[in-house]
Structure 1
Amino acid sequence: MNDLETRAAEFVRGVWHDYLEARDYSGIIRSFDEEVTWIGTGEGELCLSLGDAVRMLGAESQEWSGHFSIVGEDYRARQLSDDLFLTFGTIRAREESGGQDRVVADLNTRFSGVCRLRDGNFSVLHLHHSAPDRYQREGEFFAKSLTEQSNALLKKKIAEKTAELERLNDERRADETRYRFALEATSDLVFEYNASNGLVTANSALYLGGKDPAGFLPDDDFPHVYPEDRDRLRESLSSERVRQAFDDGETALSAEYRTLDGEGHYTWVRITLVPIRGSDGKYRRLIGSIKDIDRDKRREQEFKDQSRRDPLTGLYNRRYTEVMVNRFLEKSGPAASGALFIIDIDDFKAVNDHLGHLLGDAVLRDVSERITQLFRSTDIVGRIGGDEFVVFLKGADDEEVIGEKAGAVLNAFRSTLAGHNAGHAISGSIGIALCPRDGGDYRALFEKADSALYSAKKLGKDRCQFYDGGGDPFLPPGTRRGEEPDVGRKSFTEHIAEYIFQILYDSDDINKAVNAILAIVGRHFDVSRAYIFENTEDGLACNNTFEWCNEGVSPQIDNLQRVPYSLIGDYAANFNEDGVFYCDDISRLTVKGLHDALAVQNIHSMLQCALKNDGVFSGYVGFDECSAQRFWTQEEIDTLTFISKILSTFLIKWRTQEKLAESFRVTRAVLDHQNLWTYVIGGDHRLLYINRKTLELVPGAKVGACCYEAFWGNRAPCPQCPMREMDRTGAGSCTMELHNTQLSVWTSATASRMTWVDGQSVCLMSCVDITAYKEPDRS
């Protein structure tokens, strides 16, 4: 597994340990995606949303308080796309909740699922676990077992149906007695409604809101119901809706709403209506119940809040902050307005270093409380990182008022003192973006506010800054500003690999990624031009393939294509043993052709780092200074050399993949036009490629299917198989004459080894139709 797959497997391992051993329901819910689905081992364990999962876990936590010990486990992962990972494995667990005399058997379960990677964090998008059938006999497969179970189930159902028909008349006569008993025995409010005259009878267990049960029936004004729930309840339980639903065969209707209790407080209840039908099938009466579900609803809300809140401060977490802001903007439509603040504690690392993390956490809690107190309850306040907060002011559009609010936040920071003697002063910086001026969604506003925060840090911290429209077009989405050392964030030099790798891995377009990296590095080191030259296939010339130019500097990329090395001498000899070519004054160059080539570009000083493919010079990354001489420090040289090595690795890999892809396209075109049945098989017998002629013979064949199933109708690899014979003998190819009874053809099939696009060894199968020779009578 690659690094991301390993991380995905470890993440899923943590989820299972939270569920089975720690029984940490809050942790499990926080690991779930907003769109999670979950299929468990039980018939009722089916969750199609986060709310379903919260309800099921809440019920489980109340009904069973035990836990397991995991005594065996295997976790694996496979990357499906940039952000989706398939996870699967097995777990053997032992229940630890029994007494000493209790015999406890190990429980085996299998699972599979899909994890989503977002902002560097994994979440569970889908989870399915099941228990293997311990009673399945050797050699018995699912289809046969299913047939036997189906037959047994059919016999059982016939017997049950016969008994049911025998009891039907008795049950009808007992209906009245049973419902009367229910009216008196239940703790819920149970009532009966006669459709013909509206007569209501009810038990005396509960009269919510002091209302007669008639007040809960269709077409009531529902004055006791919470105002926001009235229209929904009226729509769900109107007379027309009830009549139509029951006439269409529905067996029950239910709705949840808030209603006044006996003390004048709103409480959650669930109303359920069940029809009692006459002999003609029409419903004549309704049996209804109203159940108090307030405790369950509040517990469900607590679970939801835990998955949406930052555990330290109680503010919204990063993910839900974005959801809330986007939800408001989408609901408001074109008229949406507001201000997004990114609030950062200045030099918070120093607070942790001097005071310790426990007091650092106390400072974060104090700051979060102060921020919350300054804003309306309708505004959105979240913590998005260690020392960073986001606030969205709904409907704010007056810059003066917004600036005053930001000033109040800064004053609150200044009055926050930390430490044993309250002697450590705190300050903060704020970046502000306005909607709709700076963007219409969270991501756009966040990038602008982050740019403004960068400016505030540059100007000396302890201040706020509105976004001024001077964004950097070369920063790709997801790349944060302010990551230089002079703004109190991570050192650019110290963590350069993290930034470069993040951009390269997150980008779907290598061209944009490389250009973005050149722009970031060029601006950071304040050079005139940053560029890449790559050698031609024969190594006799080079092409300027990437270029970034600072303001006022003329681009040269169009003038520097297929530049012969013969004009500038042995160019690779200019680089030292570390792969660096450094010239602080080009007038000192002794090779005239090289000097002239640089002078015409107005270059005064330059630094170039070699690109190498398996140790062979294949181009270079360069940085020019066109305004004056420049002396490069050793730290700058070391950093730029390191960047060049990273770019070299990715560029060479990318170019190699391009060549392989082009070679594959050519090969596929050739195979598609051959008058042969040709296909490619992986080591697991799955089809990787099927040419056009083969698809004409077997239209149902698909890439990913097993060859023995698609072409031969078998459930296992064929006994006579050229690929298997080739593997057995170790030969480079193998030819066999085969008769395919399913397709009614004779073929001469030749298997041979080849390397596939991803580098794996696969089998190329070429088949010639020899039916006319084997069965001449058919022709």
Structure 2
Amino acid sequence: MRIFYIAAMVSLLQISASPSPNFQAILLGLCVFLAVALAVVTTAFVVRFKALREPREKLLDAIHKGRDGDYSQRVDYHKENGMGEICLAFNLLMDNIQENHRKVLLNEERYRLVAEQSQNIIYEYTFADDTCRFYSSAWKRLFGRPMEIPGFSKALETSEIIDTQDRQILTDVLGRFERGESFQRAEVRMKKTDGSWHWCSIRASVILTRQGAAERIVGRIEDIDRQKQENERLRIKAQKDLLSGLYNRETTQLLVDKFLENNGENGFHALIAIDIDNFKQINDTKGHLLGDQVISTFGEKLFAQFRNSDIVGRVGGDEFAVLMKNISQDQLERKASDLLQALHFSLEEDRETYTSCSIGIACYPQDGQDYVHLFQAADQVLYCAKRAGKNGYVLTDAGRLSFPAP
């Protein structure tokens, strides 16, 4: 535009060489007009360029600050120009971003407060830097460890707060995630700051990259020690006979068969069948309450006669069975004599009522290789003791011959 005006003025100046004065005056007027027009156009162009440049620079500056986390950025605009429409769109976008950011911060604060109130421990593990981060202060309070543990996989191998037998469980969990599994749950024993060991449940879910590779693990740690103790209490309760406190029949058979199957060949073992003498008469003449007391006291005294490794159970109304492990014939017969003495007693509630017992003994494997056959053999010779006058014991012939010579 400027070049056009300059060319026009040059042409007019060349024409002005004409000698006519009137014509020269006209040319001079035209030159002045063109100069003024050029000045006006130039000024308008500068103003227009500035009007476009300043909003553009402000917009770019606001974009950079917004990218750095300042979501309060806005740009003044005029709707009548195209740049104004762009600025309007930017401001609306920043309104949405700022509102969403406010909601995210609010949710994070709620989550933090919930995590602080809970005894559960939230954690995150990243494969890239092998770092585990904990987001609940309960982690440091309960276990006394830092909130961030770099080199976590190596630290796990020597961790003092994870039971030695359970460390491999967590190492295997990390390996399964790397092989593509998405969720894992493990139960391990962890040591708290007071030195006590607690059962903890560790839940973990993997977050994948767009390419499907394991990127992070997020999950929580929950103390389940009370639940474990209650489950163990219920398990033991289900195994025990409530009246005598000994194993019930099902558990006795299960434990005996399991031991003989796994360890029967190591040493000499005997199954002892025991029956309370005249128990039906006690029930009929003294009543069931006193009969129950006889069973309870008999169970206590019977249990006290054996080692913790032996299996002692009540297998019927007045019948009991014991598996003695790794014994000699002399030990077995001395134990039978001791039982006859220990189980001959009267109750404090009724000094006139005395109890005694008859005992039959079978040996593994000569008399049987499982509970059922051993108990049948022991029960047969037990009734030999009954017929011989009660309050005595009988060892099977096969059992007596099965022991090695002293």
Which of 393, 404, 412 aligns to 2:342? It is 412
> 2:131 touches 2:151 (CA, 8 Å); kept in 1?
no
How far residue 398 of structure 1 moved from its aligned partner, in angstroms, is 0.2
- Provide the C-alpha distance between the structure 1 equivalents of 2:334 and 2:373, rounded to a whole number of angstroms: 24
Q: Assess if the C-alpha contact under 8 Å between 1:183 and 1:191 holds in 2.
A: no
Q: TM-score, normalised by structure 1?
A: 0.35
Structure (1/2) with the larger helix percentage: 2
2:385 is the counterpart of 1:456: yes
Q: 1:174 to 1:451 in 2, by over 3 A?
A: farther
- Confirm or deny that 1:205 pairs with 2:103: no
Q: How far apart are 1:188 and its partner, in Å?
A: 1.0
CA positional deviation for 1:216: 12
More strand by share: 1
The 1:444–1:418 alpha-carbon spacing in structure 2 relative to 1, beyond 3 Å, is same
Aligned to 1:236: 169
Mapped contact 1:397–1:434 kept (Cα < 8 A): no
Structure ID, larger Rg: 2
- Aligned pair in 2 of structure 1 residues 252, 384: CA closer, same or farther (>3 Å)? same
Q: Give the AA of the match of 1:206.
A: W
Of 280, 294, 307 in structure 2, the residue corresponding to residue 376 of structure 1 is 307
Structure 1 residues 429 and 356, CA gap change in structure 2 (3 angstroms): same
Q: State the identity as a percent.
A: 34
Distance in 1 (alpha carbons) for counterparts of 2:186 and 2:144: 20
Instruction: Provide the residue aligned with 1:439 in structure 2.
Output: 368
Query: Aligned equivalents of 1:174 and 1:431: distance in 2?
Result: 76
CA RMSD of aligned residues (A): 3.1
Pairwise CA distance, 1:336: 5.8
Q: How does 1:314-333 map to 2 (within 5 A)?
A: 314-332=245-263
2:337 aligned partner, one-letter code: G
Q: Which residue of 1 aligns with 2:5?
A: none
Q: What's the CA shift for 1:288? A: 3.3
Q: Whole-Å Cα distance in 1 between the matches of residues 253 and 351 of structure 2?
A: 35
Give the structure 1 partner of residue 23 of structure 2.
none
Using a 3 Å threshold, how does the CA distance of structure 1 residues 378 and 397 change in structure 2: closer, same or farther? closer
Q: 1 CA distance for matches of 2:174 and 2:377?
A: 52
CA contact (8 A) 1:410 1:427 kept: yes
- Give the SS at the match of 1:432: strand
More relative contact order in 1 or in 2 (CA 8 Å, sep 6+)?
2
Please, which of 174, 189, 193 is the counterpart of residue 125 of structure 2?
A: 193
Partner of 2:161: 224
Structure 1 residues 401 and 242 mapped into 2: Cα distance closer, same or farther (>3 Å)? same
For 1:317 and 1:392, how far apart are their aligned partners in 2? 14
Give secondary structure in 2 for the equivalent of 1:237.
Answer: helix
Question: How far apart are 1:237 and its partner, in Å?
Answer: 2.2
The 1:277–1:296 alpha-carbon spacing in structure 2 relative to 1, beyond 3 Å, is: same
Write out per-residue CA displacement over residues 444-485 of structure 1, whole angstroms, 9 at most, x where no aligned residue. Answer: 211111122122112221111111139xxxxxxxxxxxxxxx
CA 1:359/1:257 → structure 2, altered by over 3 Å: closer, same or farther?
same
User: What letter is aligned with 1:307?
Assistant: A
Alignment of 1:276-675 (within 5 A): 276-332=207-263, 334-335=265-266, 337-394=268-325, 396-414=326-344, 416-418=345-347, 420-469=349-398
Contact 1:215/1:222 (<8 A) preserved: no
Secondary structure of residue in 1 paired with 2:343:
helix
Structure 1 residues 221 and 325: CA distance shift in structure 2, 3 A:
farther
Asked if 1:245 is matched to 2:177, the reply is yes
Instruction: Give, in whole Å, the separation in 2 of the partners of 1:188 and 1:332.
Output: 43
Q: Unaligned stretches of 5+ in structure 2?
A: 1-99, 400-406
Q: Distance in 1 between matches of 2:351 and 2:256?
A: 36
Shift of 1:430: 0.9
Shift of 1:209: 4.8
What secondary structure, in the 3-state scheme, does the structure 1 residue paired with 2:290 have?
Answer: helix
CA contact (8 A) 1:274 1:288 kept: yes
Q: Which amino acid aligns with 2:314?
A: R
Query: Structure 1 residues 350 and 267, CA, compared in 2 at 3 Å: closer, same or farther?
Result: same
The code of the aligned residue for 1:319 comes to: E
Q: Secondary structure at the match of 1:301?
A: helix
Q: Contact (CA 8 Å) 1:448, 1:467: kept in 2 or not?
A: yes
Are the counterparts in 1 of residues 132 and 150 from structure 2 also a CA contact under 8 Å?
Answer: no
1:313 shift after superposition: 1.6
How has the CA–CA distance of structure 1 residues 454 and 225 changed in structure 2, closer, same or farther, with 3 Å as cutoff? farther
CA pair 185-252 structure 1, distance change in 2 beyond 3 A: farther
Contact kept, 8 Å, 2:385 with 2:394, in 1: the verdict is yes
